[in-house]
Amino acid sequence: MDSARSDILARIRAVPRRQPAPVPRDYDTARSVEDPVGLFVERVEDYRAVVRRVSEDELPQRIGDCLARRGVSNMVAPPDLPESWRWAGTRWSLDEPPLSLSEVDSADGVLTGAAVAIAETGTIVLDAGARQGRRMLTLVPDYHLCVVRADQIEVSVPEALRRLDPTRPLTFVSGPSATSDIELDRVEGVHGPRTLEVLVVDI
């Protein structure tokens, strides 16, 4: 194994190389749009996800509306999910102590917050931080309800990446699971959650 390492490095070093020109960074590292929240909503909808804008006060009720409409009775959630988000009509299993895979698999859905969102691409980024829990929670259940605060929304990819810590496990979610492998027809849901609903909280 060690000899493979030194062989490969030696082969690379044997190639005569010039230092290339510096990387031109004249692309847009930030972009401004009039209404980033509106753009985010529009772009997430393009992936056929359901998005609603709500106020801070009405958030618990609107979470309840979503769960009732879907008829779910059994939700999983990260341990630090705010008490007020846990709508009373549903049974909540918090991931503490850690739920087993089969417990997560048998849940109807999961409710989380987010770390950052990207308006231009309609992307939600999860970093296993506050109100998000570990990666398995947002992956295995078939329904993901996600709360994004308006001040978490950045316009472009470069702006969003600046706010993230690369050493955390990151998941970028752009719409529900989808495939275009059969005649390039977009079909929602193969293995990840087939339904993604987003509540955007205006601050």
Partner 1 sequence: MGRNPVTWLGSPTFPRAARTALGDTQLRTNLRKATTTIRAKRARAVAELADWERLRRAGEAIKNDVLANLDTYLVRLEEAVTARGGVVHWARDAEEANRIVFDLARAKGADEVVKVKSMATAEIGLNEYLRARGVRPVETDLAELIVQLGNDRPSHILVPAIHRNRSEIKEIFSRAMAEPPDSDDPRVLAEAARRHLRRRFLSAKVAVSGANFAVADTGSVVVVESEGNGRMCLTLPETLITVMGIEKLVPTWRDLEVFLQLLPRSSTAERMNPYTSVWTGVTPGDGPGEFHLVLLDNGRTATLADEVGRQALRCIRCSACLNVCPVYERTGGQAYGSVYPGPIGAILAPQLAGDMTDKQAASLPYASSLCGACYEVCPVRINIPEALTHLRARAVEARPKHTAEALAMSSAGWVFRDPRRYEAAQRAGSLSRFLAGSDGTIKRLPWPGSKWTSTRDVPAVPKESFRMWWRRNRG
Our finding on whether 144 is near partner 1 (CB under 8 A) is no
Q: How far is the CB of 53 from partner 1 (least distance, A)?
A: 20
Q: Are 98 and 78 in contact (CB under 8 A)?
A: no
Of 100-139, binders to partner 1 (CB under 8 A) are 101-102, 105, 118, 120-123, 128, 134-136, 139
- Residue carrying structure tokens 């770390």: 115
Of 54-93, binders to partner 1 (CB under 8 A) are none
By beta-carbon proximity to partner 1, the closer residue of 56 and 181 is 181
Our finding on whether 94 is near partner 1 (CB under 8 A) is no
The amino acid that residue 122 corresponds to is G
Nearest to 110 by CA among 70, 149, 139, 69: 139
By beta-carbon proximity to partner 1, the closer residue of 54 and 139 is 139
Options 71, 84, 89, 182; binder of partner 1; rule CB under 8 A: 182
Q: How far is the CB of 58 from partner 1 (least distance, A)?
A: 29
Which strand ranges, in their side-by-side order, compose the sheet holding 74-77? 50-55, 195-202, 143-149, 109-112, 74-77, 91-94
Our finding on whether 17 is near partner 1 (CB under 8 A) is yes
Q: How far is the CB of 152 from partner 1 (least distance, A)?
A: 16
Options 21, 32, 34, 84; binder of partner 1; rule CB under 8 A: 21
Tokens found for residue 4: 């493979």
Q: Are 52 and 61 in contact (CB under 8 A)?
A: no
Tokens found for residue 179: 């495939």
